[in-house]
Each structure stands twice: as structure tokens, then as C-alpha cells.
Amino acid sequence: MTKQPTKQRSKLVVGNWKMHGRLAANAALLEAVARGVQALPADVRVGVCVPFPYLAQTQALLGGSRVVWGAQDVSAHEQGAYTGEVAAGMVADFEAGFAIVGHSERRAYHGESSEVVAQKAQRALAVRLTPIVCVGETLEERESGATERVVGAQLDAVLAALSVEEAACIVVAYEPVWAIGTGKSATSEQAQQVHAFLRARLAAKGAQVADVPLLYGGSVKPENAAELFRQADIDGGLIGGASLKEGDFLAICAAAAAGARVAG
């Protein structure tokens, strides 16, 4: 009997530095990450999303390495009189690969609706940046049983604005708001349950969309990463606090390598 090849998605680990960093500290961190990832198997992809002013520094230090860099947001507009905004095309000028869109901190503190997030995803795709579309419920929403309704609506708003071909090029990050920066990660079962739901929503958009990378984010640490990454529908992580410490970030990347082997 011929053995059917097991479907295997590679793992992706992306650091989200948030509003942290200074030139000198960034250099040490970026150089350590670029060096550390050399030891990882090829089926683990690694990225870092840095504050806008540090894109040039990141490009200079990571160019030629296997680490992909990106921004944490882009404007919903292409260009124009939008003081303080940064266009996706400007980010792409620095050979970036990713743009996080719809992070819960942007939704909560800057009033971004899912429609605005969808426009941002479109702007990113138009300049060949991969949008990392974040979705996630608050504690109150989880406790009232609204998790799937909330994350489903957040994802659907983006999918509705994209063609099937475009949707196949995104990354989705499930980040429960109550788990971000709290030290209280979702359990692997809780995360897998939501990921399976999101996977089905993606598959409903089109067969090519079913396999977009689905990252988990929210208090991922070296101690819980392997267990999370072992889950069938968790393709990696979006890492906040732990991405600022080279040892922790590289340990999480190594856990993804182990998870990729188990999944295969």
C-alpha cells in the first residue's frame, strides 16, 4: 500500500516588538537572532516586526539572513494628507515581508474597526507585504460564549474584502486579548479549538485559503511554546514580550522546529 504523504505546513514564528527598542539594544538583539536561527531546520520561518523608525536598521542587519522583517501596522490609505501615518509602500521600500494589521492594541486604543483592518490588509497585499491579520476576543466575550462569533466576524470582514488569490497570501494570528501580556496563555486545547474554527472559515473562502498559516499569540514563552505548536491547527506564534529577549525568542523558534516534526 502506498503511504499517503502527510500534509505538513511549515512553522512560522514572528516577534512583535511593540513600542520597544533603541538603536543600540536593537543591534544586539537582531544580530543574536540572525545568528541563532542559523541552527534551525529549514521548515521553521522566523520574522520580526519592529517599530517603523527601525526598519532601515533591521534591513541593514538582517539582510542576507533567513529572518524576515516587517512593521506592526500600515495605513489604510495609499498616500496623501494623513499626518503621522505610514503607507504600506513605505514599509515595502525597506524590503519588509510582513505587516501586522488589526492587533488588538490598535483596535482598542486607536478605534480600528474590522473594515479598516481589511483596508490595511489590502494595502499591504498591494505592495506584496504579507499581512498578519490579528483576531481575538476579550475576556468578557469569552465568558459570555461569544468567542467564535467575535473572531469569526473579525476574520470574515477581511476575507470579504479580498479575492481568493489574495486571501491565500495572508497570515492570521489568533490572539485572545485576555492572554496578551498577562502571562496567562490560552491552554493548547482552547487555542486549538479556536484555530480549528478559523481554519474552517478560511477553507470556506476557497480551497487555497485553507492552509494559510494560523499563528497563536498571547503570553507564548519557552515553557508553553512546544505544547501549543504541537496542535494540529497551530502553525506557529506571534510573540510579544518574549521576542525582546534573544534567548527566549530563539527557544520559542526551536520549539516550533520540534512542533513541525511532530505535525509531520
Catalytic residue numbers read 103, 175
With b for 16 or more beta-carbon neighbours within 10 A and e for fewer, the 2-34 pattern comes to eeeeeeebbbbbbbbbbeebeeeebbebbeebb
C-alpha–C-alpha distance, residues 211 and 233, integer Å: 9
238 binds ligand PGA (CB under 6 A): yes
Interface with ligand PGA (CB under 6 A), residue from 36, 70, 102, 240: 240
Q: Which run of H or of E encompasses 223? A: helix 222-229
CB of 11: closest distance to ligand PGA in angstroms? 17
15 binds ligand PGA (CB under 6 A): no
Residue nearest to ligand PGA (CB): 240
By C-beta, is 205 or 215 nearer to ligand PGA? 215
Question: What cell was used for 142?
Answer: 469569552
Would you tell me the crossing angle of helices 188-205 and 222-229 to the nearest 10 degrees?
50
259 binds ligand PGA (CB under 6 A): no
By C-beta, is 106 or 199 nearer to ligand PGA? 106
Between residue 158 and residue 217, which ones bind ligand PGA under the rule CB under 6 A? 175, 180-181, 217
* Residue 13, amino acid: V
C-alpha–C-alpha distance, residues 47 and 67, integer Å: 5
CB of 260: closest distance to ligand PGA in angstroms? 20
By C-beta, is 240 or 259 nearer to ligand PGA? 240
3-class SS at 164?
helix
By C-beta, is 70 or 218 nearer to ligand PGA? 218
Residues that bind ligand PGA (CB under 6 A): 16, 175, 180-181, 217-220, 238-242
